[in-house]
Chains A and B, each alone.
Chain A
Amino acid sequence: MPTLSLNQVTIRYDGEPRPTIGSTSLTIDTGDFVVLTGRSGCGKTSLLNVAAGFITPSSGTAGIDGRSITTPGADRAVVFQNDALFPWLSARDNVSFALRMRGMPKAERNRRADELLERVRLPKAGGKAVWELSGGMRQRVGLARALAADPDFLLMDEPLGALDALTRERMQTLLLDIWAGANVGVLMVTHGIEEALLLGTRGAVMAPDPGRIVRVIETGFGRRYVAGEPVRSIKADKDFIAGRAELADAIFDGEPA
């Protein structure tokens, strides 16, 4: 059971008076669903990029079980806000990309890709070109592509940010189903307060100048969904409503709305 940990990570860019991220720590275990939220520009994506290995912190360490993260790797697959699919490949070939990089034979990786497409409920999309798919379908292909790498951690940067509200609700439960069925630790960045509350086992609120985690809220609503409770009933729960207010307060830090 690997653990991903960020220890006192700071990110400082040349010419910027303050660090983008100032001494922030975060730990994600297998089975965790950690949601990072906060206002725009508070460094949520930067922190995720450190975990992904896209940026090296100015100080502090990022590592998995003591091995430090220096480059991106298939143990930490990433889902991007703008899907970042490869438009020259079919949906199936996008999904099997990680397997192709490992040299898996074509027949086997196609079979695997079709299984994954079924898991994200796109059983018939394999042969489709990326531009034939809607935003929601593209995100699901992106999710299947990340899962194909069989990662220990799934890092998602506002995966539902560009979707319309209805598609978004469907995708939230899909994410929970996928998380429940895969042995992964999830780190997800979102702007949505309800989304953070519903999906996460833990919600971490960040504040800007410098970007840092100011509040961590343990939530268990995602687990309740996985255990069988309908989303409507979870969202109507007074704990959920109180949690939403608490999270909003933490995000806006007493600012008048």
Chain B
Amino acid sequence: MPEKIDFSKVSFLIVDQNKLSTQLIRDILAMLEVTRVRSVTSVERARNVLRGEPVDIIITEYYMDPEDGIDLIDWVRTASDSPDRMTPIIMLTANSEEEYVMRARDRGVTEFLAKPFNVEGLYRRLVAVIARPRAFVNAEGYFGPDRRRRQVEYDGPDRRHID
């Protein structure tokens, strides 16, 4: 039998200063039978919510003032008072040029989706973070999902083996 996702078991936090965008995401999530959604308009409020009650998935905009989505990722991934450094974070933003994508990726975003978006694109990101969780990398200067996407089977000699 094929796998299904029961979204009623998943909680969300939306962080965006654009109330219409937030409402649209809420409406889409409601159609997917999500029942636990919080939304806030600033990174500071997001931190307060997360300190009180961790969520399963964060959906955040990049552009916010005074702190932006990168500040939120930094806090979740690296702060000593972050409630869960491995929380999946989907960045949904109109700051969609390559420089923003790379910056978000290098700070530990899990998925990136450009606005304008379509429902299938959003759904694919949700499926990815729920059904296909990624390994994390803890390295000097980086804590976040493994940025190598393709896992290619290789059965030749291990030329990198140095031990």
Q: Do A and B come from one complex?
A: no
Seen from chain B, the residues whose Cβ lies within 8 Å of a Cβ on chain A are none
By a beta-carbon cutoff of 8 Å, the part of chain A in contact with chain B is none
